[in-house]
Structure 1
Amino acid sequence: MGFLGQDWSQATGYLIFCVAVFSMGDFIFGLDVSAFGGLQALPSFLNDFGVYNEATKKMALPTLRKSLMNSIVYIGRITGVIAFEPVTEKWGFRTLFIAICIVQLLSVICKLNITIGRVFGYVTIGTIEAAIPMYCAEIAPAHLRGFLSGTFVPIQTSASIMGSGVVRAMATETQTRGWLIPISIQLIPAVIGLAGVAFTVESPRWLISKGRHEEAVNVLSKLRTKEDVANGLPEAEVQALVHAVEVDRTIGSGTWLELFSGPVWRRTLYAAIIFFANEAGGNQFWNSYGPSFMVDAGLGAKSFTYSIIVSLAGAIGGLIGILSSDTIGRRPPAIFGSALLVVWDCLIAGLGSRPDITSNAIAQNVVVASFVLLIWSTKIAYASVGFIVCSEMGGIRMRKKIMMVGTANDVIWSFVVAFSTPYVMQKIGANVGYVFAAIAFIGLVFAIFFLPELKGRSLEEMDELFDNPRFKWGWQYPKVQTTGAGAAVAQVENANRAHHLENDDSKLDNEKREANIRVQEATWGNEDMRSPTTTKIHHLG
Structure 2
Amino acid sequence: MGFLGQDWSQATGYLIFCVAVFSMGDFIFGLDVSAFGGLQALPSFLNDFGVYNEATKKMALPTLRKSLMNSIVYIGRITGVIAFEPVTEKWGFRTLFIAICIVQLLSVILQLAAKEWIQFTIGRVFGYVTIGTIEAAIPMYCAEIAPAHLRGFLSGTFVPIQTSASIMGSGVVRAMATETQTRGWLIPISIQLIPAVIGLAGVAFTVESPRWLISKGRHEEAVNVLSKLRTKEDVANGLPEAEVQALVHAVEVDRTIGSGTWLELFSGPVWRRTLYAAIIFFANEAGGNQFWNSYGPSFMVDAGLGAKSFTYSIIVSLAGAIGGLIGILSSDTIGRRPPAIFGSALLVVWDCLIAGLGSRPDITSNAIAQNVVVASFVLLIWSTKIAYASVGFIVCSEMGGIRMRKKIMMVGTANDVIWSFVVAFSTPYVMQKIGANVGYVFAAIAFIGLVFAIFFLPELKGRSLEEMDELFDNPRFKWGWQYPKVQTTGAGAAVAQVENANRAHHLENDDSKLDNEKREANIRVQEATWGNEDMRSPTTTKIHHLG
TM range (shorter): over 0.9
1:263–1:466: 8 Å Cα contact kept in structure 2? yes
Give the Cα separation in 2 of the matches to 1:45 and 1:303.
16
Deviation by residue 1:62-115 (Cα, 9 ceiling, x = unmatched)? 555433322221100000000000000000000000000111111111224312
Deviates more, 1:487-496 or 1:57-66: 57-66
TM-score of the superposition, structure 2-length normalised? Answer: 0.96
Residues 420 and 45 of structure 1: is their aligned pair in 2 closer, same or farther, counting only changes over 3 Å? closer
Q: Secondary structure at the match of 1:108?
A: helix
Q: TM-score, normalised by structure 1?
A: 0.97
Q: Deviations over 1:166-190 (max 9, x none)?
A: 1222233344333222211111100
Supply the distance in 2 between the matched residues of 1:365 and 1:58 (Cα, whole angstroms). Answer: 26
Bigger mean CA offset, 512-521 vs 29-38: 29-38
Distance 1:328 1:219, change over 3 A: same
Ranges in structure 2 where 5+ consecutive residues have no aligned partner: 113-118
Q: Tell me, what secondary structure is at the counterpart of 1:7?
A: coil
Are 2:173 and 2:310, in contact at CA under 8 Å, matched by a contact in 1?
no
- 8 Å CA contact 2:68–2:425 kept in 1: the answer is no
Q: Using the alignment, how far apart are the partners of 1:340 and 1:44 within structure 2?
A: 37
Deviation for aligned residue 1:40: 3.0
Deviation at 1:289, TM superposition (A): 5.6
Q: Is the 8 Å Cα contact of residues 221 and 234 (structure 1) preserved in structure 2?
A: yes
TM-align CA RMSD: 1.5
Q: For the residues of structure 1 that align with 2:83 and 2:483, how far apart are their CA atoms?
A: 32
Residue 223 of structure 1: how far off its partner (Å): 0.2
The equivalent of 1:270 in structure 2 is: 276
d(CA) in 1 for partners of 2:174, 2:370: 23
In structure 2, relative to structure 1, the CA distance for the partners of 1:359 and 1:183 (3 Å cut) is closer
Provide the C-alpha distance between the structure 1 equivalents of 2:371 and 2:106, rounded to a whole number of angstroms.
43
The secondary structure found in structure 2 opposite 1:90 is helix
Do the aligned partners of residues 50 and 437 (structure 1) sit closer, same or farther apart at CA in structure 2, a change above 3 Å counting?
A: closer
Is the contact made by 1:84 and 1:130 (CA closer than 8 Å) also made in structure 2? yes
Deviation at 1:288, TM superposition (A): 5.2
What secondary structure does 2:174 align onto? helix
Name whichever of 5-14 and 428-437 sits farther off. 428-437
Q: CA deviation at 1:343?
A: 1.4
Question: Out of 284, 293, 311, which is 2:290 matched to?
Answer: 284
- Listed one character per residue, the Cα deviations across residues 459-503 of structure 1 (whole Å, up to 9, x for unaligned) are 000000000000000000000000000000000000110000001
1:52 offset after TM fit, Å?
4.3
Residues 9-28 of structure 1 show CA distances to partners (whole Å, capped at 9, x for unaligned) of 00100000000000000000
* CA shift for structure 1 position 429: 2.5
- Please tell me whether the aligned partners of residues 288 and 422 of structure 1 are also in contact (alpha carbons under 8 angstroms): no
Question: CA–CA distance in 2 between the matches of 1:417 and 1:423?
Answer: 10
Pair 1:58–1:440, CA change in 2 (3 A): closer
What is the percent sequence identity of the aligned residues?
99
Give 1:432 shift. Answer: 1.9
Alpha-carbon distance between aligned partners in 2 of 1:291 and 1:198, rounded to the nearest angstrom: 39
| Residue pair 1:235, 1:538 contacting (<8 A) in 2 also | no
Query: Within 1, Cα distance between the matches of 2:35 and 2:74?
Result: 17
Secondary structure at the counterpart of residue 111 of structure 1: helix
Unaligned runs of 5+ in 1: none
Alpha-carbon distance change, 21 to 411 in structure 1, aligned in 2, over 3 angstroms:
same
Q: Hey, what's the Cα distance between the residues in 2 that align with 1:212 and 1:530?
A: 14
Alignment CA distance shift 1:438-1:41 (3 Å): closer
Instruction: State the alpha-carbon separation in 1 of the partners of residues 125 and 357 from structure 2.
Output: 38
1:59 is paired with a residue whose SS is: strand
CA contact (8 A) 2:40 2:298 kept: no
**Alignment match, 2:514:** 508
Q: Select between 89-98 and 63-72 the one with higher mean Cα deviation.
A: 63-72
Q: Is the 8 A contact 2:337 2:453 kept in 1?
A: yes
Tell me: CA distance 1:343–1:47, structure 2 relative to 1, closer, same or farther (3 Å). Answer: closer
In the TM superposition, what whole-angstrom CA distance separates every residue of 1:231-282 from its partner, at most 9, and x where no partner exists? 0000000000000000000111100000000000000000000000111112
CA distance in 2, matches of 1:292, 1:33: 14
Cα deviations across residues 423-458 of structure 1 (Å, max 9, x unaligned)?
222333222222211111111110011000000000
* Alpha-carbon distance, 1:415 to partner: 1.0
Q: CA separation in 2, counterparts of 1:293 and 1:41?
A: 10
Q: In structure 2, what is the Cα distance between the partners aligned to 1:467 and 1:443?
A: 24
Q: CA offsets, 1:493-526, max 9 Å, x none? A: 0011000000100000000010001000000011
Q: Is the 8 A contact 2:37 2:295 kept in 1?
A: no
